[in-house]
Structure 1
Amino acid sequence: MTASSATMTDHGTAPHNGMMTTDQARDPDYFPGLAIAIPLGIQHVLAMFVSNLTPAIIVAGAAGFGFGSPDPSAMIYMIQMAMLFAGIATLLQTLGAGPVGARLPIVQGTSFAFLPVMIPIVAGRGVEAMAELTTAAIIGGLFHTGLSVFVGRIRFALPPMVTGLVVLMIGLSLMRVGIQYAAGGVPAQGTPAYGAGTSWLLAAIVVATTLGLSFFGRGIWSTAAVLLGLLAGYAAAALMGRVSLAPVADAGWIMLPMPFHFGFALSAAAVMGFCLMGFISAIESIGAVSAICEGSAGRPATDRELVGATCADGVGTALAATFGAMPNTSFSQNVGLIAITGVMSRHVVTIGALFLILCGLAPKVGAAITTIPIEVLGGGVIVMFGMVASAAVSILSGVEWSQRNMLIFGVALSLGIGLELEPDAVGHLPETARIMLTSGVLPAALVAVVLNLAMPGRPKAA
């Protein structure tokens, strides 16, 4: 559904028959009515649904209680909390609470950016490691909240060369996960059919369906292409006898969040990693707010909107982590969806948030997701992480590639990828330093920021 074709009249024309003027479509406080708001709100959920759940599934798999584990209950809980607190964090953005929230149509969801930091923290350590991760996320979220006051003053340290490098490292760091999933799991877990042709066939069905709908679909068919691709792969897996709905039958009808579900445990490496990634997440929020205001409202974002959005990021992350969920951030794919529909109403996104909350309280939804074969999920992950890397290339295309910038970028990229590929190179360092240096993203970001600030020839701030 697009507002330009179904809901909007020319500028200045009085609304009639469910239509709206251009000024109303650009007004975040305007409510277009339930007939328009409900389908557009659900469309926002469909656009981010898979991306929102994937980090929780990947972290559970890295820890060893993901797909194929004897007891998937912890992963089901994480999936439910991902939906529930994405909805709650979105409400913080759309409705606001004091200084918290931009009061704009910003959709929040579980952040991919923290995955390269989270995976080394929990790798192979089971559910027990989640206490360290969620505790660090709480502290990192509170740090992020405090950072919102100074968000305008730190932008100079993160030009497009640095932010583009960070986004690229996130994509590159996670591509291995996509390939492992598509091939049938994680080799270390001893999956018998790892790399089998049937595994790659299921992943290929997902990728092919997603690409076909993205290029040739219209409206909801294109917007929800990844979700529909997963459904196509799921249907193929069911025909192959690879799907069992027993977990859905065993799951209850309602699940309430539990404070400190995984416990409380401090890890210096985890806390430092989450706080450092808070800088990157803050810049993500600034970019999302700026894109919405400039692209859909035809005006620059106000300082209050920027501060409120970043503050909601931090509060949403701390709140989610308190109940065992992953860090939250603004979702860029939904920014693009607003540009497509032409409707900037924050109340539309509020309806989508309420739908997410309802899903988050129903454990049968999470149980149904755990029945997806890992190869099917792998096909979707390949597409999503490839798009992360593509977004980085788009950011980097605007950089002036002088010899100075090429040297800074090259050294940071080389260290980031090299240490991630060869973690034993820092095997004699303390655990905190080892986890941070082998995350890929953090060393690359730190080297790029420091060199960009220290080396001569840096452009003056505008």
Structure 2
Amino acid sequence: MSDETNSTLLYGLEQRIPPLPAFFSALQHVLAGLVGIITPPLIIGATLGLGEWMPWLISMSLLASGIGTFLQSSRVWGVGAGMICMQGTSFAFLGVAIAGGMWVKGQGGTAQDVMAMLFGVNFVAALVPIIISRFIEPLKRIFTPIITGSVIALIGISLIKVSVNNWCGGVQAKDFGSMSNIGLGAGTLAAIVLLSCAKNRWLRLSSVVVGIALGCIAAALVGKFHFSGTGDTWFRLPALFPFGFQFNSAIFLPVALVSLVCILEAVGDLTANCLISHQPIDNSAFRSRLKGGILADGICCMIAAMLGAFPNTTFAQNNGVIQMTGVASRFVGRYIGVILILLGVFPPFGEILRQIPLPVLGGATMVMFGCVVAAGIRIITQNPLTRRDMLIVGLAFGFGMGVEAVPAFLAHFPPIIANLFGSAATCGGFVAIVLNLIIPQEKTVIANDARSNDDRAESL
């Protein structure tokens, strides 16, 4: 790989990185993804009345995410993408998990019955990405740059909505959108941008950590940061299927369908990761990474179910961190995995990070999520867009952003449809796939493809 190609990276994909900068880089990934990992179990637990088990759900979510992230970066026996692919609890399963839990409660089930059923179903549903990973080559027509780029851009746009809500103080905040909240987020964002533009590699490496630290100091000075202790439990020993194992086919079907949809999001995230890490996205090596990444997704979901955590997926947040810090070394992924595992088995550490003020996190993640959108656009525009491509991208963005902006659009559809296509990425991605399959290729494109095939044949 040329020096020019690597110029924006401080550490390339296969470059070893010293422990100290590796730790700082890993910590920034953890800070970017921490809220995303612990929020789904908080929402599901609160809705289903699992308050007693909430600390367990949070700890096991962090532990499962750490194991999955370590697998993804290590790529042992073809398992994993061999990149910094941070695993985290998926938001896509919120609707089906809550619906399944409510059904169990309606049958007279206890909180433990609810979790035994949900984790049993999730364990079996994890077979979906594992099986699909074996058929990546035949499915390559679906995973075109137009489709994957649209999906990753829509994921980034959805994440920006989360970032803005946090920046304003959180949806439940009484002072939502106050000038103090806006100021804290803006100050954090400005610090990260300035540090990430610095020529000094240490400043760039630690831009997110330093920016968040400065934001926390500012929050404490204005009375927005109150440290409330670390809890009573210092160590949490994991157990396999701690609530037992139950299964119901009626609950399984929607969970399996959501697992199928999540594969499309994972492909978008992995494609963006390859692009940002300066890896090809159109050859057999790329498809091998996709195969390993989706396989690791499935295995990680199985591990999560066994530990008592909800399904995991590849996060898009870390793509923004890679772009900001210039560190693509896959060995950082192992550090991320170890940190998350420690946060899972030693709850006080995670509790400290969880208390970072939301406006500070919102300002910090705005930078990263914006980079995710930019990565998606870069994938879409790597080749000149034809009229057909413009139509596919336009409708994918139209439908995706439409259901995100007006959720009531799907209000009168069956609940399973609303759950599957209620997010920008899944709805827009589905529209892009359908249009790509039914709209015929333009003649000039077909002719160019044939000419390039002839040229390759002559060169052989």
TM normalised by structure 1 equals 0.75
Structure 1 residues 234 and 290: CA distance shift in structure 2, 3 A:
closer
Q: Structure 1 residue 109 and structure 2 residue 90: aligned? A: no
Correspondence for 1:242: 224
Correspondence for 1:164: 149
Q: Deviations over 1:52-77 (max 9, x none)?
A: 313124435655859xxx99886655
Q: Structure 1 residue 153 and structure 2 residue 119: aligned? A: no
- Measured in 1, the distance between the counterparts of 2:279 and 2:144 equals 19
| Residue identity in the other structure for 1:320 | A
- Measured in 2, the distance between the counterparts of 1:27 and 1:409 equals 30
Aligned with 1:200 (options 165, 175, 182): 182
Q: Structure 1 residue 91 and structure 2 residue 76: aligned? A: no
1:47-58 matches, cutoff 5 A: 47-58=28-39
SS of the residue corresponding to residue 86 of structure 2 reads: strand
Correspondence for 2:385: 401
SS of the residue corresponding to residue 301 of structure 1 reads: helix
- Measured in 2, the distance between the counterparts of 1:180 and 1:367 equals 21
1:281-320 matches, cutoff 5 A: 281-282=266-267, 284-285=269-270, 288=273, 294=279, 301=285, 307-320=291-304
How far did residue 336 of structure 1 move? 6.0
- Measured in 2, the distance between the counterparts of 1:394 and 1:302 equals 17
Q: Structure 1 residue 181 and structure 2 residue 163: aligned? A: no
Q: Which moved more, 1:121-130 or 1:146-155?
A: 121-130
Structure 2 portions without partners, runs of 5+: 4-10, 106-110, 454-460
Structure 1 residues 312 and 212: CA distance shift in structure 2, 3 A:
same
Q: Is the 8 A contact 1:268 1:432 kept in 2?
A: no
- Measured in 2, the distance between the counterparts of 1:414 and 1:337 equals 29
| Residue identity in the other structure for 2:192 | T
How far did residue 47 of structure 1 move? 3.8
How far did residue 310 of structure 1 move? 3.4
- Measured in 2, the distance between the counterparts of 1:213 and 1:151 equals 40
How far did residue 450 of structure 1 move? 1.0
How far did residue 119 of structure 1 move? 5.3
Correspondence for 1:455: 439
Q: Is the 8 A contact 2:152 2:268 kept in 1?
A: no
Q: Is the 8 A contact 1:79 1:366 kept in 2?
A: no
Structure 1 residues 81 and 437: CA distance shift in structure 2, 3 A:
same
How far did residue 387 of structure 1 move? 1.9
1:54-453 matches, cutoff 5 A: 54-59=35-40, 65=46, 77=56, 79-95=58-74, 98-101=77-80, 104=82, 106-111=83-88, 114-115=90-91, 117-118=92-93, 120=95, 138-186=123-171, 189=172, 191-216=173-198, 218-248=200-230, 250-259=231-240, 266=251, 268-282=253-267, 284-285=269-270, 288=273, 294=279, 301=285, 307-323=291-307, 324-329=309-314, 331-332=318-319, 340=327, 349-350=333-334, 353-453=337-437
How far did residue 311 of structure 1 move? 1.9
TM normalised by structure 2 equals 0.76
SS of the residue corresponding to residue 412 of structure 2 reads: coil
Structure 1 portions without partners, runs of 5+: 5-24
Q: Is the 8 A contact 1:76 1:367 kept in 2?
A: no
- Measured in 2, the distance between the counterparts of 1:135 and 1:146 equals 18
How far did residue 99 of structure 1 move? 4.5
- Measured in 1, the distance between the counterparts of 2:279 and 2:379 equals 17
- Measured in 1, the distance between the counterparts of 2:399 and 2:270 equals 27
How far did residue 163 of structure 1 move? 0.9
How far did residue 316 of structure 1 move? 1.9
- Measured in 2, the distance between the counterparts of 1:131 and 1:379 equals 38
Q: Is the 8 A contact 1:89 1:313 kept in 2?
A: yes
Equivalenced residue count is 417
- Percent identical pairs in the alignment equals 25
- Measured in 2, the distance between the counterparts of 1:247 and 1:177 equals 26
Structure 1 residues 379 and 431: CA distance shift in structure 2, 3 A:
same
- Measured in 2, the distance between the counterparts of 1:84 and 1:132 equals 21
